[in-house]
Chain A
Amino acid sequence: MSDPILDIRDLRAGVEGRDILQGISLTIQPGEVHAIMGPNGSGKSTLASVLAGRDGYEVRGGSVNFLGQDLLELAPEERARDGLFLAFQYPVEIPGVNSTYFLKAALNEQRKHRGLTPVDAMEFLTLVRDKIKLLELNEDLLKRPVNAGFSGGEKKRNEIFQMAVLEPRLAVLDETDSGLDIDALRVVANGVNRLKSADNAQLVITHYQRLLDYIVPDFVHVLMNGRIVRSGGKELALELEERGYDWIARETQAATQS
């Protein structure tokens, strides 16, 4: 077996005065798609935040290995340049920073890190043109400030568009499906699927089986109270859709009591 892209061992993390992740272990191999499901407040976004390196989250134990290095040692921008991508649950509006300028800067930071020459404005445009079509976004978005005044659906598609440009090794999609109508969902899923390859991986956080009809996961994990309480194949998502989370909670409780 090849080296994993991501290897999380017994990760414990929280915010000041509060434990949220209570020991998470998860290994993701190249070519795999993992889904994380779980009730509101179970810690899904916290996991995504800890992986991306957001300020304010403290790691209290465990380790995260990303492509053979200690992920937790790296600054957020270093993680990104090494190929980690977080599609935000709530993309931030940045009025005043032009989208093209921003994304070109991001791409060139990554290229510099990899010893490649920076792309100029023309090369950049050629490069993004196909990708913007893939997400069925209007090219005018590139002339606007980052996410400023974008509709909810446009913001989510814009996240996947950025992912398409940056071509990460590991993409963490935090509820990219929420707020999307059914057509947009198909467009986004199609975009994500087109980016899938044998040497990258995707970690898809969602509440809905619906998304997983399009982005078919190899593994589904259920996160509750900061722990992965069950893992299975794609049929687990169907079962959750049908039965909710209560039965898992009960079974988990029974298991810990016995």
Chain B
Amino acid sequence: MKPLVALPDLNPPPDPVTEQLTQAFTSQEERLARIEPGWLVALRKAGIARFADVGLPTLRDEDWRFTNLAPLQEHRFQPTLGRPTPDLPAEALDGLALGDLPGDRLVFVDGHHSPALSHIASHGPGVVVEPFSLAMARNADAIRITLGQHADLTKSPFVALNQACFSDGAFVRIPRGHRLDQPVHLLFVSTGRDPGIAIHPRNLLLLERDAGATIVEHYLSLADAPTLTNAVTEIVAGENARMEHIRLQDESKTSFHFGFVRLQQAANSNVAAHCISLGARLFRHEYDPSLDGPGAECVLNGLYLAKGRQLADHHMVVDHAQPNCASHEYFNGILADQSRGVFHGRILIRPGAQKTDAKQTNKNLLLSNEARANSKPQLEIYADDVKCTHGATVGQLDPEAVFYLRARGIPEETARRMLVHSFAGEITHRIQHNGLREALDEIVWDWLESLEAVQIGRRDGSGTHSVAHPH
């Protein structure tokens, strides 16, 4: 019998991007089954099944309300999985930011490990700093039992897509009690030679009990081309482990970037995760921290710089499951021109997570009347003995502060820049590693200096903004 009225289509056809990426993966399934272990193929298949099922988020998804992914449809993205490793001469990286960092460097070019550009010191027994492509042979068991166990593919379609399509990435394991004294630099270069490629880096960073390390994930483009990067990092910090994790995203202004960092923290572990983002036409960065043992602490510390028509989206749910943990999120955005900042941070305090100390702030500095910020900090508390604060601000440079500086003889433009720098400095000063802090400060400084005159709102106008308060 035919229904009398048209029923809404309960399974709308997938969007073209989902369809395209799913097909691209499926066409490789057979080849993968021949060359990869069964458990890995199964992991990939689970990823693509989930991705095909949910598809790309739309503005109707509460978690994606302000980030329109329609521009992805302008391109036919092809995963780099199975493509040959591109050649990149060493000179291509001359003058690279963070180029003179001491310590290991693992370089991935368009998603594939480049042994020629990488250098790894010999480490003590048990320390592993390797690309998956090599680690798979030597550490198959460790990888099999951890990979994909921490980043939950139901949390974002991009995690599911990454699980299916990842080509390579870093596997780092620091054994019990060992502290790496030099930072590890993971560099993901997008060459832009093939517009429309979709690069899926995947990292697994394991710190055993009492271990320590500083690890930098650095995303960079060599040319202006519409590429897609969709990176997933799983970090597991054992009891009393300490990690400083830095994520620097400086891709081209025509690229799309998605990043997801899962943080699994055991008792008394301490993770400081910094993310500095200045690239991409559209990017979304998610943190998914879980404080799973008493006394764990995490600091998420982010700075996003956007100009032109860039969109910078940050999303995080901090999950407090155990007592006496602390989490602090500090995110500052500097938004120029017609750029847009989106921030959604939720602190979830489960029953039993007593004596939690949680704090979250998101501050947006609008440098033009057309820049916009949407900020939504939220608290969800199911324990009674906790200390939680959160807040969000959206505003322009404080004219009173500008006047104060000018009244002491500092030129107006310098005064404005000083205030903008200091706003950025509130975030970068938390980076503990001196060399990295200085290098990142310099990158931020260059970006700020590249801005045209810094406008401040006068009485005749102010940027539009919204700050939603929790319900």
Q: Which A residues lie at the B interface, using CB under 8 A?
A: 52-56, 75-77, 79-81, 86, 88, 91-92, 94-97, 102-103, 105-106, 109-110, 113, 145-146, 162, 166
Contacts and interface: CB of A to CB of B under 8 A. Distances in A.
Given A105-B414, A166-B409, A96 B426 contact: yes
Contacts of B423: 96
A91 B404 contact: yes
A110 B406 CA distance: 12
Q: Which of B405, B414, B418, B459 has the most C-beta atoms of chain A within 10 angstroms of its own C-beta?
A: B405
Interface stretch (B161-169, B201-209, B369-377, B394-402): B394-402
17 contacts: A54-B407, A77-B407, A77-B408, A77-B409, A77-B411, A80-B408, A86-B407, A94-B401, A94-B422, A95-B426, A96-B423, A96-B425, A97-B418, A97-B422, A105-B410, A106-B405, A113-B409
B403 to A, nearest CB: 6
A18 to B, nearest CB: 14
B412 interface: yes
Interface in B424-463: 425-426, 458-459
Given A80-B407, A96-B419, 8 more contacts: A76-B406, A80-B406, A80-B409, A91-B404, A94-B422, A96-B426, A102-B405, A106-B405
Nearest to B458: A55
A54 B405 contact: no
Nearest to A101: B418
B407 A76 contact: yes
A97 B403 contact: no
B404 A106 contact: no
A86 B405 CA distance: 11
A103 B408 CA distance: 8
Contacts of B410: 77, 102, 105-106, 109
Interface of B: 398-401, 403-412, 414-415, 418-419, 421-423, 425-426, 458-459
B90 to A, nearest CB: 39
Nearest to A103: B408
Q: Which of B403, B408, B412, B459 has the most C-beta atoms of chain A within 10 angstroms of its own C-beta?
A: B408
A109 B406 CA distance: 10
Contacts of A106: 405, 408-410
A80 B426 CA distance: 28
A102 B415 CA distance: 10
Contacts of A110: 409
Contacts of A56: 459
A75 B412 contact: yes
Nearest to A49: B403
B173 to A, nearest CB: 38
Contacts of A113: 409
B419 A94 contact: yes
A141 to B, nearest CB: 16
Contacts of A79: 407
A166 B407 CA distance: 11
A88 B404 contact: yes
Q: Which 10 residue pairs are nearest across A and B when measured between Cβ atoms?
A: A96-B422, A80-B409, A106-B408, A76-B406, A109-B409, A92-B404, A77-B406, A81-B409, A97-B422, A106-B409
Contacts of B415: 77
B334 to A, nearest CB: 12
Nearest to B414: A105
Nearest to A105: B410
B412 A92 contact: no
A86 B400 CA distance: 14
